[in-house]
Structure 1
Amino acid sequence: MGQIKELNLVSGPSSPQCTIRHEAPAIVFSAGGHTGNLFHAFNDGLIPLFITASSFYPDGDFIIVVSEFHDWWQSKYAEILKVLSKHPIVALEKDNATHCFPSATLGLIAHGFMTIDPTLIPTSKTLMHFRDLIEKAYTQNPILPSPPLDPKPERRPRLVLTCRGNDVSSRRILNQDEVIQVMKEIGFDVIVFQPNRCTSLSEAYAMLNSSHVMVGVHGAALTHALFLRPRSVFMQVVPIGTEWAADAFYGRIAKGLNVNYLEYKIRVEESSLMEKYGKDNVLLKDPSAVQKKGWPTEIMDIYLKQQNVKLDLVRFRKSLKSAYLMAKKFMHKER
């Protein structure tokens, strides 16, 4: 939050002479903070921007005015931003002109983690409407077409496994090769998806929008679940101590998009923390007791930055079989 600048509102009889006079109102907000993280980019920025625009300017006729503007931010989310507003973006730090607007809304409205409450918006928008906006953004001029689906009823469901690279020290699946083999044995075609900051959202949308199942360990990459189609399957692997965040962040996406949602909560024996702290440590035996007073950085770092998972293949196979049955049912409705 230290990166977020405060804007001063000054009221007085005189004002600077307008260099550019706009007819449309403005929504002014910051693209700073943690927006380099995909989860925060959507949770703190794009979804609140959609809520704010739907609340005050449902016709979409408004101008985006951004503080802490970054070229990479505009480039990465360009398609979504263009659907939200037809006007060019005004970047405060890069523009020396004096812009005049008939009115302006400063700051964004949020309804909580990854959620949109239709009762708080005059136009009754939901997360499904936001997903429709994403679909419009990435299907108007798609960079890549969606992979073709085999029309034969016996085709295998397509499963996308989101994973973290070897250069990342936490929340990796240590036995990933064995997990992929089990997925294939059950009957999935498996696509390994290892996103990074440079990953094209258009390509990610094309892949996930044409898939039937998405599986991944709790983390920012699961924000891509916004690209899943309703009635597809989303399975979140939940490490020790991340239960509340798993539900608040990504469980709400599944509920809001009518996606079949499964949680695979690992046991102590499946966590790398057991080797470091021992299975009887309160950090592993009762994470909720540790977190009663909140989630201070030192506790958050243990669960999010020190923990990898080694999945119990027998137990995980059972969850995958449930996902497979859901996926086949979804495929049947596709035909």
Structure 2
Amino acid sequence: MEKRKPKKIVFRVTPWIFLLVLPLLYIDFLYGNIGHFDQWVQYISSSETTPNIRKVLIKETVEEKYKPLSSLLSNLVKEEDREKLELTGFACNRDVYSIHCIANGPLQIDTKTMTVTIPSSNHPMQETVIKPYARQEDDTLLKTVTPVKISSQNITTPQICEYKHEIPAVIFSSSGFVGNVFHEMNEIIIPLFITTRHFKSRVQFVLEDYNPSFVRKYRNALSLLTEHKIIDPVSNQSVHCFPGAVIGLKFHNHLSVNSTDIPIGLSMSDFRQFLRQSFNLKFRHVSQIKRPRLMLLSRRTTRRILNEEEMIPMMEELGFEVIVVARAKLVSDIKMFSSLINSCSVFVGAHGAGLTNELFLPDGAVMVQVDLIGLEWAAETYYGHPARAMGVHYLRYKIEPEESSLLKVFGRRDHVAITDPKGAFPVQAGKEVYLNGQNVRINVERFRETMVEAMSLVQDSGL
């Protein structure tokens, strides 16, 4: 029987691979394991191992990131509207609060007139006008929002493009109550996250009513949602061509991301992770904070807590490190303030836009709202429900009439303004009374019970 020749081993390595492997071989030799040399050579010279694995990984990554544009756009309309979108290339989703329209095909945007032209041979010419803001129920607010005209027409000539884009456009407005953190988050940042997150930054923002201070304030968050410079229609009056577009933003509810609403799958947990990434926040869970820290948000105009100086010693006695924040400059610096509040275990404040900063609290933290007369519905709707949905404990300190400055104004406990705030005044007058005309002097001993519960929740979270 002929003796078989030993299999020839071909050792193919680039110089840099050799430099990496040589120290390992030397260590192998020192410990008497030079017999493993053949295994090393066969592994790194194999033509079937690493390249194929790499190809699979690259293929999966590319497929995940670059899903078909038509699929990404159709995720933003309800199931019953997808057939229309596929047939005509255009469909709108209308809800109580918001409206957004989807164009799934080549289109032209003239930023000088804010006209979107969609060529279509499948249906007669039609025109739709919308104001791309998430609060469609507020007529007063919408007066400040520039309208977008969407024109679908039968066009046979090629589109004229001064700029041609390979990604879809998203048109929205930064008008409204910009400067108020509740409205910025509620009506722009959260709806923008809901509408665009699944595009994985491959979208072009066209920002109507462009507000430079808004863009500067939220640049970290905006840069995670788009890779491209935001278009300001006023300073860039030209014709752009896109493969598709979203006009307007999807709104789920106040300070809310609902995983069962379109686009299905996003949650408030996803949004909070997005905020942590945007502002480089340190703490994910309250158990990471060694000493319980409490922030008291101090108001300087309406809804003031008049006896803060009596509350602070009580909080410190319970074991809290207390931070009192009253400077508007600090609160408006969202990067600095988000980091500060993220380091807190408990957040205390009277009803107002500043409580929106509960978004930056770590999971398991406690939000305590001082619930004033006439503001119960707003307190629960705007801050109570959202807090629970984001994994933050919510405690409500409902004041007694004796703690409100309104008792002195109306004279007695059984006055209709105290007992029936909903029926006492017309809406606008009620806002003036309860929002702009009310301060509070906390009953410290009664409030202590709420603080004891807050401390208990923080300590239990660390178990």
Q: TM-score, normalised by structure 2?
A: 0.65
Using the alignment, how far apart are the partners of 2:403 and 2:195 within structure 1?
Answer: 42
In the TM superposition, what is the alpha-carbon distance from 1:290 to its structure 2 partner? 3.8
Deviation (angstroms), 1:285: 1.4
Q: 1:90-116: CA deviations, max 9, x gaps?
A: 112221222221111111111121112
2:294 is matched by which residue type in structure 1? L
User: Structure 1 counterpart of 2:366, which letter?
Assistant: V
Q: Residues 118-156 of structure 1: CA distance to partner in whole angstroms, max 9, x if unpaired? A: 1113441111111110001011xx7xx78xx999x9x64
Higher relative contact order (CA 8 A, sep 6+): 1
Determine the structure 2 residue equivalent to 1:186.
318
In the other structure, the counterpart of 1:172 is 304
Q: For residue 134 of structure 1, what is the aligned residue in structure 2?
A: 275
Paired AA for residue 180 in structure 1: I
- The correspondence for 1:162, drawn from 273, 286, 297, is 297
Aligned-residue identity in percent: 35
- Distance in 1 between the 2:264 and 2:169 partners? 19
Displacement of 1:197 in angstroms is 6.2
> For 1:189-221, what per-residue CA distance to the aligned partner results, in whole angstroms no more than 9, with x for missing partners?
001122536621111121121211111111000
The answer to whether 1:315 aligns with 2:432 is no
Counterpart residue type for residue 163 of structure 1:
S
SS of the equivalent of 2:228 reads coil
Displacement of 1:59 after TM fit? 2.8
The equivalent position to 1:285 in structure 2, one of 416, 419, 422, is 419
The answer on 1:202 being equivalent to 2:343 is no
Task: Name the CA distance, whole Å, in 1 between partners of 2:187 and 2:366.
Answer: 25
Q: Distance in 1 between matches of 2:299 and 2:217?
A: 20
Q: Map residues 82-97 of structure 1 onto 2, 5 A cutoff.
A: 82-97=223-238
Counterpart amino acid of residue 186 in structure 2: N
* TM-score with structure 1 setting the length: 0.88
Q: Which residue of 1 aligns with 2:169?
A: 26
Q: In 2, are the aligned partners of 1:31 and 1:67 still within 8 Å (CA)?
A: yes
Shift of the 16–122 alpha-carbon distance from structure 1 to 2, 3 Å rule, reads closer
Residue identity in the other structure for 2:429: E
Amino acid at match of 1:302: V
RMSD of Structure 2 on Structure 1 (CA)? 2.2
Q: 2 CA distance for matches of 1:197 and 1:114? A: 23
1:275 aligned residue: 408
The 3-state SS of whatever aligns with 1:216 is: strand
Q: Distance in 1 between matches of 2:174 and 2:417?
A: 35
Provide the secondary structure at the position in 2 that maps to 1:263: strand
Q: Which runs of 5+ in 1 are unaligned?
A: none
The residue number in structure 1 matching 2:351 is: 218
CA distance in 2, matches of 1:28, 1:179: 47
| Other structure's SS at 1:10 match | strand
Q: Secondary structure at the match of 1:41?
A: helix
Residue 300 of structure 1: how far off its partner (Å): 1.4
Question: Please, which runs of 5 or more residues in structure 2 have no aligned partner?
Answer: 1-140
Mapped contact 1:23–1:101 kept (Cα < 8 A): yes
